[in-house]
């Protein structure tokens, strides 16, 4: 039965996806519907309700909706996260940022702040792997914070979530942190038309795009905050726009930070690690 369904599924989606992509999407949907490992689906049958859901999911994919929004969940750093259109879909590049922080902060009793947390994937993955850390996270979106709290409960970790504007943080209202991390909006508005339709049309622009005139505004404001609220010897971690990596590093060095650019698995400039001199 599933072989026939898969053949029809691939035929319907071939105007958008390659055969390999359709195969992956099919397995993800079936695994979601039967709540079983993706490798254990070959001999499964779908109920009538599951077939109805399958058809609805297929229709959503044909409308270019990302599979993570269709299913309402995404995998990140070996954990499951609820996602919806109020938050960005967690990406593999951000897993590399989390991996770096875990590697460098392991077994330390550190305080951390994630700025622009979205689904909460960064602080939750950090807390899951750094149980000694005390982690706080902020976002300007109340709906994102609701989802982030749900994800913390889902993954059985404690993270303190608060509503705050990354561009208007008042240093006096916050303590100092050993680690400040952010994956801020960094895509210029002019780049929007070059992006995939399923990203451009469905993911939250608030979390993606910045004005062409101020492409580094979040890096500027957050690093200013770090000047007063990063502890001596602390570390600031950013995910980067690869096209603006050098400019971002120059911005931070002009403020007195050291700045190290780290490439991702695809050899793109992706992470900036900064510390204050002296």
Give pLDDT tens digits for 44-55: 788 999 999 999
Most distant pair of Cα atoms in the chain: their distance = 67
Question: What is the model's pLDDT at position 45?
Answer: 81
206 vs 95, higher pLDDT: 95
Q: Among 80, 83, 57, which residue's Cα sits nearest to residue 70?
A: 57
240 close to 186: Cβ distance less than 8 angstroms? yes
Mean pLDDT is lowest, of 74-83, 154-163, 182-191, for 182-191
- Alpha helices, DSSP H only, in the chain? 2-13, 19-34, 48-62, 67-71, 92-105, 121-129, 142-154, 197-200, 205-208, 217-229, 245-254
Angstrom distance (rounded) from CA 175 to CA 132: 18
Question: What is the model's pLDDT at position 12?
Answer: 96
Percent of the chain with pLDDT over 70: 87
CATH number of the structural domain 73-276: 3.40.50.150
Mean pLDDT within 135-162: 98
Region of 189 on the Ramachandran plot (φ > 0 left; ψ -120 to 50 alpha; else beta):
alpha
Could you give the C-alpha distances from 194 to 107, 126, 218, in angstroms and in order? 42, 32, 22
Mean pLDDT of the chain, nearest integer: 92
Decide if pLDDT at 194 tops 90.
Answer: no
Interhelix angle 142-154/121-129, nearest 10 degrees: 30
Percent of the chain with pLDDT over 90: 81
Q: Which tokens hold the place of 199?
A: 């990203």
Please state the φ and ψ torsions of residue 30, each to the nearest 5 degrees: -65, -45
56 vs 38, higher pLDDT: 56
Q: What angle do CA 166, 178, 227 make, to 5 degrees?
A: 55
Mean pLDDT within 205-228: 84
CB count, 10 Å around CB of 20?
9
Question: What is the model's pLDDT at position 57?
Answer: 98
Mean pLDDT within 145-163: 99
Please list the residues that pair with 210 across neighbouring strands.
188
252 close to 223: Cβ distance less than 8 angstroms? yes
Q: Which tokens hold the place of 207?
A: 């979390």
Q: pLDDT class for 200, splitting at 50, 70, 90?
A: low
């Amino acid at each position: 039965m599933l072989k026939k369904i898969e053949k029809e599924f691939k035929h319907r989606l071939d105007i958008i996806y390659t055969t390999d992509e359709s195969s992956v999407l099919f397995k993800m949907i079936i695994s979601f519907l039967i709540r079983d490992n993706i490798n254990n689906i070959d001999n499964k049958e779908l109920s009538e309700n599951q077939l109805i859901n399958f058809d609805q999911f297929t229709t959503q994919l044909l409308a270019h909706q990302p599979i993570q929004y269709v299913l309402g969940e995404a995998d990140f750093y070996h954990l499951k996260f609820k996602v919806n259109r109020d938050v960005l879909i967690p990406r593999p590049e951000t897993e590399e940022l989390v991996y770096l922080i875990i590697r460098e902060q392991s077994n330390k009793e550190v305080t951390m702040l994630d700025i622009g947390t979205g689904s909460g994937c960064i602080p939750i993955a950090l807390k899951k792997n750094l149980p000694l850390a005390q982690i706080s996270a902020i976002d300007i979106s109340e709906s994102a914070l609701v989802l982030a709290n749900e994800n913390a409960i889902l993954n059985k970790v404690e993270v303190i979530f608060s509503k705050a504007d990354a561009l208007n943080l008042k240093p006096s209202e916050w303590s100092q942190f050993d680690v400040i991390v952010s994956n801020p909006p960094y895509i210029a508005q002019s780049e929007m038309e070059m992006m995939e339709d399923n990203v451009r049309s469905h993911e939250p622009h608030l979390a993606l795009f910045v004005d062409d005139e101020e492409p580094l505004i979040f890096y500027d404001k957050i690093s200013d905050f770090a000047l007063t609220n990063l502890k001596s010897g602390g570390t600031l971690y950013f995910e980067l726009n690869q096209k603006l990596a050098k400019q971002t590093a120059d911005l931070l060095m002009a403020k007195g930070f050291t700045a190290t650019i780290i490439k991702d698995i695809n050899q793109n400039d992706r992470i900036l690690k900064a510390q204050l001199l002296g």
